[in-house]
Structure 1
Amino acid sequence: MSLAAPAVARDIVLGLPIDCDLDEVCYIQQFVDHDPSANARDFACGMLTYDGHKGTDFALPDRAMVDLGVNVVAAAPGTVRGVRDEMPDILQGQAGAPDTTNRECGNGVVISHGNGWETQYCHMKRGSITVRTGDRVAMGAVLGQVGMSGQSEFPHLHLSLRQNGDVVDPFDPDGTITCGEIDETLWTRPVSAPPGGMISIGFSSGVPDYDLIKAGDAAALSLAPNDDLVLWGYAFGGLTGDVMVTTITPPDGTTIETRSDPLDRPKAQYFRAGGRRAPDGGWPAGAYTGSVTILRNGAAYDVMRATISVQ
């Protein structure tokens, strides 16, 4: 992989390529890899990348959102140079996943923006692509929807930016690693890009299967008095030593707190759960609140809250 030199990264600006709130719903799972060795590091010297990763991954919180439909939009005006729209939306590792040799991008679109610039949009939903080769598109024009096609292990849009074939990181266009705050970027407005955090939380009557969490089917709508009371949290970008704390507050104001063991290694995604078995006579009816907090270096790093009714 070759990162473009500083002089080339000033001829284009980008809008968000996904119609989803990055502060409340979607998130960036991975960035461009800036380490030329077999190791990997992102633009901020973090670990939200992997060796040779050539783009930015805008992730959905669960697979259910693929069915609901999240639009992929053109990050800049240009001309559609290529389209693929025939690969199934089956994540790698699942039954029936296709061979993605030379088709790792899955369904996608390539747009030329002039002066050697092009963007590529990967892992789109089969049958959703609305443009054809040769079409002129404006910034923000709908190209299709986020899917799970190609070499994908979670539902997301992979956006690659290149000039004359060289990879450019929109978060660090001159390729100078600062290991601190985001400096100059190619985005038209600030883009939320925390190095990890909560994805979703929910209550359930037992510790749910991880696949149900990733599918978006793990959270109960309500619980019965004799159900066990479990609160789970799903997170990304975990670092060694991170601790997840689940806190449940019943109607009487007491608290049920569970602390996970510290992570023994970085994790791209993970979940933890805590709670209690139903007491004799069952849980009192009413509203139960829950919070899941990530502790990083002993301090609260991110928190998400939920409520459920026991009836």
Structure 2
Amino acid sequence: MAIPFVSLVATSAAGDIPLALPIDCTLGETCHIQQTVDHDPTAGASDFACGLLTYDGHKGTDFALPSLAAQTEGVNVVATAPGTVRGVRDGMADILQTAENAPDVTGKECGNGVVVSHGDGWETQYCHLANGSVAVGTGDRVAIGTILGQVGLSGQTQFPHLHLSVRHNGNVIDPFDPDGAITCGEPSETKLWSDAIDAPAGGLITAGFAAGVPEYSAVKAGTAHETTLSSSDDLVVWGYVFGGRVGDEIILKIDGPNDQIINQTVVLERNQAQLFRATGRRAPQSGWPFGDYLGDIQMVRDGTIIDTATTTVDIR
């Protein structure tokens, strides 16, 4: 059964349905919320907090993995509430839409996916599952935590993630603000999540060291971080960021065995859903002292640190 592409805006606020985390990961550590539902009916975009953690017309919550390597290892997608499988799709290739050989996915933007009906007009849709991973069939009963498949790259994807859509009577519902009555500066006290789930308005995905500024593709693939370097290597620290806004400061520091080597602040000049920044020093003629080096990256917005990440490298 083909999975429909619903294009209705969030208008309903009917009764509650408690939702568990739909992905087997730890938020803020092994995954993060990259995007949420767009509440702006115009060509602009605004999330449930009047922020930028969304894009025009986005109709779900995206749970992103830190790298392609994490996706390759396998991360389960699970039912967020009990119900009956209403439809599935499998067999679409795992290819990012940024790839040169990306297929036309018009009408199949969800990629491989599962739709689960929960009764009383409620349903959830799980998109971008890995090719061949769908583990349920139409008519199957599922419980909270039942494995539906694994995170993949099928459909309209630019990074590895699970897209979860929640609908009531066909209307898109934002689990972070189910009544759709947005008041800027006053987040809704009512959420559909059964556990406390935060959607920070930006943060650090990961960080690492390298012997030079890495390719962005290596950062996204999860292969950019080097755990050891030689004393003659150049020393670069980098941070991988999501939800960047104009004016945000990315502070990058390197502390060596004896003293601080770098303390640099980079100010973002435009809004970006994902980005990375790096800084470093060439190796001194005598080489770096042997030992452990600590990288510390901070993301600062309006004078407040909103996230930090640390990383280490052994020079020997």
TM-score tier (shorter): over 0.9
Which residue of the partner structure matches residue 250 of structure 2? Answer: 244
Q: Which residue of 2 aligns with 1:152?
A: 157
Backbone CA RMSD of aligned residues: 1.0
- 2:283 is aligned with 1:278: yes
Cα distance in 1 for partners of 2:270, 2:244 equals 8
Aligned equivalents of 1:310, 1:227: Cα separation in 2? 9
The residue that corresponds to 1:308 in the other structure is: 313
Shift of 1:182: 4.6
Distance in 1 separating the partners of 2:72 and 2:89: 20
Q: Which residue of 1 aligns with 2:202?
A: 196
Label 1:182 to 1:271 Cα distance change in 2 as closer, same or farther (>3 A): farther
For the pair 1:81 / 2:79, whether they are aligned, the reply is no
- Superposed displacement of residue 243, structure 1: 1.5
Which amino acid in structure 1 is aligned with residue 259 of structure 2? G
Contact 2:208–2:226 at 8 Å: present in 1 too? yes
1:3 paired to 2:10: yes
Distance apart, 1:129 and its partner CA: 1.0
Matched, 1:103 2:108: yes
User: What amino acid is the match of 1:305?
Assistant: T
**Segments of 4+ in structure 1 off by > 4 A?**
none
Matches within 5 A, 1:64-143: 64-143=69-148
Percent identity over the alignment? 58
- Is contact 1:257-1:274 (8 Å) kept? no
Q: In structure 2, what is the Cα distance between the partners aligned to 1:162 and 1:108?
A: 15
Partner of 1:57: 62
Please give the residue correspondences for 1:30-41 in structure 2 after superposition, counting only pairs within 5 Å.
30-41=35-46
Length-normalised TM-score, structure 1: 0.97
Q: CA deviation at 1:253?
A: 2.6
Residues 57-81 of structure 1: CA deviation (Å, up to 9, x unaligned): 0000111011111110001101111
AA of the residue aligned to 1:310: I
1:22 correspondence with 2:63? no
Equivalent-residue separation in structure 2 for 1:5 and 1:81 (angstroms): 21
Letter in 1 for 2:291: G
Q: CA deviation at 1:155?
A: 0.3
Letter in 1 for 2:21: L
Matched AA of 2:106: T
Residue 266 in 1 paired to residue 271 in 2? yes
Please, what TM-score do these two structures have when normalized by structure 2? 0.95
Q: CA deviation at 1:295?
A: 1.9
Taking the aligned partners of 1:265 and 1:256, their CA distance within structure 2 comes to 24
SS at match of 1:255: strand
- Pick from 235, 240, 261 the counterpart of residue 241 of structure 2: 235
CA deviations 1:251-290 (Å, max 9, x no partner) are 0033311221x21221100110011000001111100011
From 227, 239, 256, the counterpart of 1:221 = 227
> Is contact 1:19–1:71 with CA below 8 Å preserved after alignment?
yes
Q: Write the letter of the residue equivalent to 2:11.
A: A
Give 1:183 shift. Answer: 1.6
Distance in 2 (alpha carbons) for counterparts of 1:204 and 1:190: 36
Is the 8 Å Cα contact of residues 258 and 275 (structure 1) preserved in structure 2? no
Q: Is it true that 1:212 corresponds to 2:218 in the alignment? A: yes
- What SS does the aligned partner of 2:260 have? coil
Contact 1:80 1:112 in 2 (8 A): yes
Alignment check: 8 A CA contact 1:23 1:192 kept = no
Aligned residues of 2:38 and 2:55 also touching (Cα < 8 A):
yes
State yes or no: 1:253 paired with 2:259: yes
Query: Residues of 2 paired with 1:73 and 1:230: CA distance?
Result: 38
In 2, Cα distance between equivalents of 1:207 and 1:182: 42
Q: Which amino acid aligns with 2:27?
A: L
Rate the CA distance shift 1:256–1:11 in 2: closer, same or farther, 3 A: closer
Contact 1:234 1:271 in 2 (8 A): yes
- Which whole-Å CA distance do the structure 2 matches of 1:135 and 1:125 have between them? 19
Amino acid at match of 1:226: S
Q: Following the alignment from structure 2 to structure 1, what is the Cα–Cα distance between the partners of residues 237 and 30?
A: 19
Matched residue count: 308
Q: Structure 2: how far apart are the matches of 1:209 and 1:2?
A: 38
CA deviations over 1:197-247 (Å, ceiling 9, x no partner): 000000000000001000001001210000000000000001110111110
3-state SS of 1:66 partner? helix
